[in-house]
Structure 1
Amino acid sequence: MPATPVVDPPFSILSEDFAADPYRYFAGLREQAPVHYEPALDSWFLSRYEDVRRVLTDHRAFTTETLQVRAEPVMRGPVLAQMAGAEHTAKRKIVVRGFTGPALEQQVRAVRANAAELLAPFLPRGRMDLVNDFGKPFAVRATLDVLGLDEQDAEPITEWLGGVSEFITSLALTPERRRHCLDCAEQLEAHLRPVIEQRRRRPGGDLISQLCTAGSGGTGTGTAMSTREVTALIINVLVAAVEPADKTLAQLLKQLIEHPEQLAQVRRDPALLPAAIAETLRRTPPVQLIPRQVERDAVFAGTPVPAGATVFCMIGAANRDPAAFTDPDAFDIHRPDLGTARSFTAAAQHLAFGAGLHQCAGAAFARAELETVAALLLPLLDGVRLAPGFRYRESGLYTRGPVALPLEFTPVRATDGTFRHLG
């Protein structure tokens, strides 16, 4: 393990060094600057597990008001995380219902079919980039299926969604990039509007139809949602489902490849796969920062933070806090302090899905999606290894994941036009 770096006063979370490898700074932040002030953003960064969980679970003292500026302009309306009371309960229930029960069973079948189709061209070659060849297109297609959007539109939707995500996850945007992101959001909204109108007239079994026909309303009174409300929730689901999927899948394979004894155990006992996914989410969460606004003066680790300030919860640092997890930098699928059974629920010990009122509504779908794809991949990628000469690199501060993950494996021979284990 490298020596823990000292977090000096000039240290900045916006520095190139931090962007290149934030993990090496987490211990220093927790120990020396657990309430780090970033002057360029006029914001505070919290790195201790105790402080992060406190902020995420006390939604009255630490609100999501910052999302009015950070998300609403590109979501084209308020998102779930901005809501509370009857409105939040009603709308969250619709989204959660769209990712559980019979709907989830149907989605799992679609996930498997999409994954199999995307994998097929690469299996006889014995090599692929798990992020760019498979992960990114798969994440988009799987989410379009859930919503009931045409996969033929995947390319423009991916481009527009990239602008939306950039707006939400960038800590600093130039005027030109801001305009680009807003243009993307407007085009995505224009694309969705006729789809919503069509689903109102002829609803199907997809999530957009459920949103269009549900009598939830903004006050929970039974009034149907407006087109603006439905649009915001659709974009909310698109961002939440697409953004983390490829990152976590790539991290899972990378961790298992780097820990061959644990990879062998998962291959022998697929029941260990949920634990491997949960440990991946803990150790390398795709969402690294969650912002909140301080409603009244607060104190963290002896440091006063004034009312009205923005605090960023550092999920990656909190998930590696030794006060919450033993030997937290290690990857260990047998970790006794993780609790696999609760890792995808509101009782999760890790904070990769957030915590409290605004915990991720799609956690059950994320688990099913990742389990389904990993269960398909592992038997096919015999002898899987990182490509020779590959230099691993990650990108992103708000959300983070591998830039690429080129893999080599034993080519899979076709038999009667099909591939073994596939389908």
Structure 2
Amino acid sequence: MSRTESGFSVLSDDFAAAPYRYFAGLRERAPVHYEPAIDSYFLSRYQDVKRVLTDHETFSTETLQVRAEPVMRGPVLAQMTGAEHTAKRRIVVRGFTGQALQEQMRAIHVNAAGLIGPFLPRGRVDLVNDFGKPLAVHVTLDVLGLDKKDWQQVAAWHSGIAEFITSITLTPERRRHCLDCAERMEAYLVPIIEQRRRHPGEDLVSKLCTAEVDGIAMSNRDVTALIINVMAAATEPADKTLALLFKHLIDNTEQMAQVRRDPSLLSAAIAETLRYTPPVQLIPRRSEKDVVLAGTTVPAGATVFCMIGAANRDPDAFAAPDTFDIHRLGTARSFTAAAQHLAFGTGLHQCVGTAFARAEIEIVAAMLIPLLDQVRYSPGFRYRETGLYTRGPASLSLDFTPVHDGVPVPD
């Protein structure tokens, strides 16, 4: 039976367990797939997805008013347009690029060294739960200038916020939980925001607190929304992509050996990981008028989900798309527009954390690959991915040759 016949649903357990095996069927037979239970359209072809993400007049981000604003505690960057979007995005991007990024690189390395250190003599680590998730939160708190002693509580609140944004459907109980997490996060942040207004530092929260848009300082609610926006942008791609990178290199031993011999290939391996298994699988938009996509009319006001994982495996855009190949583009083009993949979106609302995520993953992977010698899956480990909207390994238990000399931290 065709996987795209009337009984097929992207909301099914079968799809959630292994979405990649359905993508070719969707692209070929149902490139504009309608889900009546949620009155939404799912697009799987590269050209259609790219059109939706770049045609900002026809496809707006208004869906985020319902999907994100309640837990972000205010409008997020993707909802904004015009001068407000330009000004606020510039403030945030400055916290992730240039001199600010250079200063963060050592902090990324120090955080990674401290987290991996206890596991090196043991020769075993869960790269997701022991390392990747706490690392992403620690580094993000450093960028923002928030106290890392609160990281577990902040991570728990952030998890609830992310659940609200990335769930296609939520039970009333889970919805209440997510909204409670958002309220608690806001209550935690407001006193910090007020303190940074009085005594600003060099951290990103201080820069948000002291910045002006059209000559007017941002409100506490504006700053809170941008802080939570940054948390989502900085944490979601990093921990998932790092684990997926190691999985693909372990599964492709010759490519792992090539990266070990030639570290300049690392950026290409990361870019190919983002194409092959993007951590953000769905990006929502709203059609502002009736529009025809792949022969199907999508009505005005409809929710459209761009299936990034399917678009990134479209043979019309990528040769041999279901093959992991770190030599697909070469190192020079891996993080340029020529890379083509849509893992960070594209157009006006491309993820603000792109440069930071790349730097973080490169720094951490470059440190880990030499340390995790003869790395392989732990005995008895069974790989499993989770997530429909964002997707990554539930865990990644790895064995490697134990290290007893500790982790060198650069001066």
Range into which the TM-score falls when normalised by the shorter chain: over 0.9
1:407 aligns with 2:398: yes
Q: Distance in 2 between matches of 1:257 and 1:421?
A: 24
Compare 339-348 and 155-164 and name the one that shifted more.
339-348
Matches within 5 A, 1:334-349: 334-336=327-329, 340-345=331-336, 348-349=339-340
Matches within 5 A, 1:19-418: 19-215=16-212, 217=213, 221-336=214-329, 340-345=331-336, 348-414=339-405
Q: Distance in 2 between matches of 1:340 and 1:356?
A: 23
Q: Percent identity?
A: 73
Q: Distance in 1 between matches of 2:138 and 2:381?
A: 28
1:121 aligned counterpart, secondary structure: helix
Counterpart residue type for residue 11 of structure 1: F
Counterpart residue type for residue 280 of structure 1: T
Tell me which of 1, 5, 9 is aligned to 1:8. 5
> Retained in 2: the 8 A contact 1:343–1:350?
no
Q: Distance in 2 between matches of 1:55 and 1:298?
A: 10
TM-fit CA distance, 1:5: 5.8
Q: Distance in 2 between matches of 1:117 and 1:13?
A: 40
Counterpart residue type for residue 362 of structure 2: E
Q: Write out per-residue CA displacement over residues 74-125 of structure 1, whole angstroms, 9 at most, x where no aligned residue.
A: 0000000000000000000011111111100111110000000001100000
> Retained in 1: the 8 A contact 2:233–2:352?
no
- What runs of 5+ residues in structure 2 fail to find an aligned partner? none
Counterpart residue type for residue 277 of structure 2: T
- What runs of 5+ residues in structure 1 fail to find an aligned partner? none
Q: TM-score, structure 2 length as denominator?
A: 0.98
Counterpart residue type for residue 134 of structure 1: F
> Retained in 2: the 8 A contact 1:298–1:307?
yes
Counterpart residue type for residue 65 of structure 1: E
- Paired residues in the alignment total 410
> Retained in 1: the 8 A contact 2:117–2:407?
no
> Retained in 1: the 8 A contact 2:4–2:26?
yes
TM-fit CA distance, 1:171: 0.4
TM-fit CA distance, 1:222: 2.0
Give the superposed CA RMSD.
1.3
Counterpart residue type for residue 378 of structure 1: I
> Retained in 2: the 8 A contact 1:64–1:292?
yes
Counterpart residue type for residue 358 of structure 2: R
Runs of 4+ in 1 over 4 A off after TM superposition: 339-343, 345-348, 420-423
Counterpart residue type for residue 354 of structure 1: G
Q: Write out per-residue CA displacement over residues 351-405 of structure 1, whole angstroms, 9 at most, x where no aligned residue.
A: 0000100001111101100000000000100000011221110000000000000
Counterpart residue type for residue 314 of structure 1: M
TM-fit CA distance, 1:60: 1.1
TM-fit CA distance, 1:343: 4.5
> Retained in 2: the 8 A contact 1:278–1:340?
no
1:325 aligned counterpart, secondary structure: coil
TM-fit CA distance, 1:348: 4.5
Q: Distance in 2 between matches of 1:383 and 1:335?
A: 25
Q: Distance in 2 between matches of 1:125 and 1:248?
A: 24
> Retained in 2: the 8 A contact 1:160–1:188?
yes
Q: Distance in 2 between matches of 1:422 and 1:93?
A: 32
Q: Distance in 2 between matches of 1:413 and 1:226?
A: 50
2:216 aligned counterpart, secondary structure: coil
Q: Distance in 1 between matches of 2:310 and 2:98?
A: 34
